[in-house]
């Protein structure tokens, strides 16, 4: 896939992920406390829910890469992580699917 097209496809997928978080009412209004970003660990596991990490870390970082026309990571495991952490959450099926689709855009 051409680089310019990849940016468009990734931005669309991130927009779908954001919309799904909002549909699920798992979008946080306002900001997180600064300490939530300290020693947060992979996927924010130490200080955030997966939904908070997606909203406050993943989405802004992906949009930053797009705005800067930067390089995406060679690989993504967000969908895999979501599958493990949202297993048994019947409402989160579409969110997990979207995150797996996001992963498939890389690697």
Domains and CATH numbers, the chain: 3-25+45-103 (1.20.1440.40)
pTM score: 0.95
7-26 pLDDT tens trace: 999 999 999 999 999 999 99
The number of residues in the chain equals 107
68-78 pLDDT tens trace: 999 999 999 99
Q: Is the pLDDT of residue 88 over 80?
A: yes
Count Cβ neighbours within 10 Å for each residue of 32-45 and write b for 16 or more, e otherwise: beeebeeebeebbe
Query: What pLDDT does residue 1 have?
Result: 81
Q: Residue 39: CB partners within 8 Å, gap ≥ 6? A: 46, 47
């Amino acid at each position: 896939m051409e680089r310019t097209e990849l940016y468009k496809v990734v931005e669309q997928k991130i927009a779908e992920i954001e919309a799904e978080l909002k549909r699920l009412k798992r979008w946080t209004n306002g900001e997180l406390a600064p300490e939530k970003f300290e020693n947060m660990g992979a996927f924010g596991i130490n200080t955030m829910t997966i939904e908070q990490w997606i909203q406050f870390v993943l989405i802004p970082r992906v949009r930053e890469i797009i705005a800067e026309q930067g390089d995406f990571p060679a690989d993504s495991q967000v969908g895999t992580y979501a599958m493990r952490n949202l297993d048994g959450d019947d409402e989160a099926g579409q969110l997990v699917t979207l995150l797996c689709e996001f992963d498939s855009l890389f690697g």
